Amino acid sequence: MTSSKSEPKPVLLWFRKDLRLDDNHALRAAVTSGRPIVPIYIQEPEAKGCGPLGAAQQWWLHHSLAALEKSLHELGSKLVLRTGDALSVIQKLAEETDAEAIVWNRRYDPAGMAVDMDIKKSLRDAGFEANSFAGQLLHEPSRVRTGTGNPYKTYTPFWRALEQSGEPPFPIDAPETLEAPSRWPQSDSLGSWGLLPTKPNWASDFYDMWTPGEAAAREKLTDFIESSLDSYAVDRDFPDKPATSLLSPHLALGEISPARIWHATRGLPKHIPTDNIVRFRKELAWREFCYHQLFHFPKLNSANWNDRYDDFPWRSDATLFDSWRRGQTGYPIVDAGMRQLWRHGWMHNRVRMIVASFLIKDLLIDWREGETWFRDTLVDADPAANAANWQWVAGSGADASPFFRIFNPVLQGEKFDADGGYIRTFVPELADLDGKYIHRPFEAPDDVLKRAGIRLGEHYPRPIVDHAVARRRALEAHASLKTE
Ligand code: FAD
């Protein structure tokens, strides 16, 4: 299958974690090259490149690819799906289409970067044109460094450096048409990839919460700015309020660029107080800081950033771990969070911190176990944000929360879900419990429990650990570590 002599040879446009047409620098390069464009997505094998995502994110990927396919179709183009080792697939597609160039947007997870470096070298050695572009982050991680040229270890100076490096590049709009090749190579069918769960279909409730794809991401950004940004700084900590952007899963697969989000927060009407805008930008900057850590410490999801924690006396207890995963710990805020994760593939940030602290400090289970479970169940699973935040809670990470700051799950619940609305949504067996005991059912008198139709140990578990005892045990475990 070769293109005719008069037609310029096609360029392959390789989509990865940038499933959008808007603000896509590789796409723009392909368009300006004047060549016909062959958009491709490769399902890469295990532990390489985009290698299998967690189960919840595979659900997202399916719908995101379908949305991308549709948008490409509207521009007169297609999306070619292939499976296999990326280099071999690209070489084969180049042969089939007679393409002599490929473009992609860079990714920053260690496995993906290693694959990309090899591919670029092999293709260039073979006389092929291979170019990569920025787009996953506000600023390239190699650019942001301290005055002495080292990576940042703490967030505040990192944020200052980001502010000083100026605004991220202005986002570019999607093209209006795409030149198609004279003949299309064959594509896998998306359905044949089996990305959606079937028996059982544990993702059925995801549809109530999410619409994957770049159009939905843009809509969500607009809604958030119009309805929630003006009280973001305060309300973002309350899991029962619709106060945060819910953009994380869209960002995770690149359906919207961080630069698009950043620039949407400029020039806003005066009724939106600046502190809310700054606070929101600072969260986007946390995402950058997580990638900064991953870029400079590729083992972020498997090794302690601070090796002092290498000797931490973790406990291995499959029964306790299972109670945590299933939201059956007897602490309502922890259980609500874990069940929100299962039902919607997402959990509110405040509650992520509470459940992570509970696993690590109350149960003394290694943070890596929690990171792995989140990776499989979150629709926004992100190699940098997930690992960096788990290490942050564990105290082993860069600029981490000190280990001795151990969340009390009852007090956290009472502070951030005072009327128990979040608990009542995700732990329905407690829905009729008097508000005074909603975060501490184990202290409720028998008649209160009876009125709410609850028998502890039957309808809802008794606490699997006593928090006061667990807290002391955690502090002792921490004290056993060598001092720095
Ligand atoms: P918003 O409050 O609207 O924030 C806007 C964006 O800023 C988010 O979409 C996200 O991209 C970024 N952001 C916000 N908070 C953080 C943060 N603490 N760290 C890094 N980026 C942040 N976020 C992920 O995107 N993927 C993960 O796998 C992930 N794992 C986490 C694990 C733990 C244990 C904890 C404590 C946090 C984790 N986070 C993760 C961070 C945070 O919880 C989510 O980004 C946030 O809840 C997403 O909701 P939102 O889009 O409504 O956030």
Give residue for tokens 């360029």.
11
Q: Catalytic residue at 443?
A: no
Q: Answer whether residue 290 shows pLDDT above 50.
A: yes
- How far apart, in Å, do the first and last CA atoms of the chain sit? 64
Catalytic site residue 390?
Answer: yes
Coil, strand or helix at 135: coil
Q: Which of 184, 202, 314, 342 is catalytic?
A: 314
pLDDT tens column, 252-264: 999 999 999 999 9
This model's pTM is above 0.75? yes
Return the CATH superfamily for domain 11-135.
HUPs (3.40.50.620)
Distance, CA of 69 to CA of 132 (rounded, Å)? 22
User: For the chain, where do the domains classified as CATH 3.40.50.620 start and end?
Assistant: 11-135
Q: Which of 262, 277, 371, 380 to mutate to test the pocket of ligand 1 (most atoms within 8 A of CB)?
A: 380
Q: Which CATH architecture group holds 307-479?
A: Orthogonal Bundle (1.10)
Mean pLDDT over each residue of the chain, to the nearest integer: 95
Given the residues 367, 369, 386, 389, the one annotated as active site: 367
Q: With contact defined as beta carbons under 8 Å apart, do 78 and 190 qualify?
A: no
pLDDT band for position 5 (cuts 50, 70, 90): low
The proportion of the chain whose per-residue pLDDT surpasses 70, expressed as a percent, equals 97
| In the predicted structure, residue 471 carries a pLDDT above the cut 90 | yes
- In degrees rounded to 5, what are phi and psi of residue 43? -85, 105
What 244-247 contacts at long range (C-beta under 8 Å, 24+ apart), as own/partner pairs, is: 244/348, 244/349, 245/220, 245/221, 245/280, 246/220, 246/346, 247/217, 247/220, 247/221
Ligand 1: residues within 6 Å at CB?
236, 244-248, 251-252, 283-284, 286-287, 290, 349, 352-353, 356, 374, 378, 380-382, 385-386, 389-390, 393
> How many whole angstroms separate alpha carbon 253 and alpha carbon 379?
9
Asked if 256 and 360 touch (Cβ cutoff 8 Å), the reply is: no
248: nearest Cα among 377, 145, 68, 379: 379
The answer to whether the CB of 284 falls within 8 A of the CB of 262 is yes
Q: Pinpoint the residues of the chain covered by CATH 1.25.40.80.
A: 137-170+213-296
> Which pLDDT value is given to residue 314?
97
Nearest alpha carbon to residue 267 among 409, 155, 167, 377:
167
Q: Where in the chain is the domain with CATH 1.10.579.10?
A: 307-479
pLDDT digits (tens, 9 = 90+) for 407-452: 999 999 999 999 999 999 999 999 999 999 999 999 999 999 999 9
Query: Is 283 tagged catalytic?
Result: yes
CB 220 within 8 A of CB 245: yes
| 16, burial (CB in 10 Å: exposed 0-12, middle 13-18, buried 19+) | buried
pLDDT at position 4 over 60: no
**344-386 confidence digits (pLDDT tens):** 999 999 999 999 999 999 999 999 999 999 999 999 999 999 9
Which residues partner with 38 through β-bridges?
Answer: 12
Contact, 142 vs 295, CB < 8 A?
A: yes
What is the pLDDT at residue 1?
Answer: 44
Element of type H or E holding 375: helix 367-377
**Model confidence at 3: pLDDT above 50:** no
CA-closest residue to ligand 1 atom 45: 248
CA of 11 relative to ligand 1 center, distance in Å: 35
How distant is the alpha carbon of residue 29 from its chain centre?
27
Class of domain 137-170+213-296: mainly alpha
Summarize the confidence of residues 239-245 as an average pLDDT. 97
CA 334: distance to chain centroid? 20
Query: What is the mean predicted confidence (pLDDT) over 196-224?
Result: 96
Q: Residue 349 Cα, ligand 1 centroid: separation in angstroms?
A: 6
Q: What confidence tier does 2 reach under pLDDT thresholds 50, 70, 90?
A: very low
pLDDT in tens, 153-178: 999 999 999 988 889 999 999 999 99
Please indicate whether residue 349 is annotated as part of the active site: yes
Buried b / exposed e across 87-109, counting CB within 10 Å, b at 16+?
bebbbebbebbbbbbbbbbbbbb
| Interacting residues of 263 by C-beta distance below 8 A, sequence separation 6+ | 167, 168, 170, 171
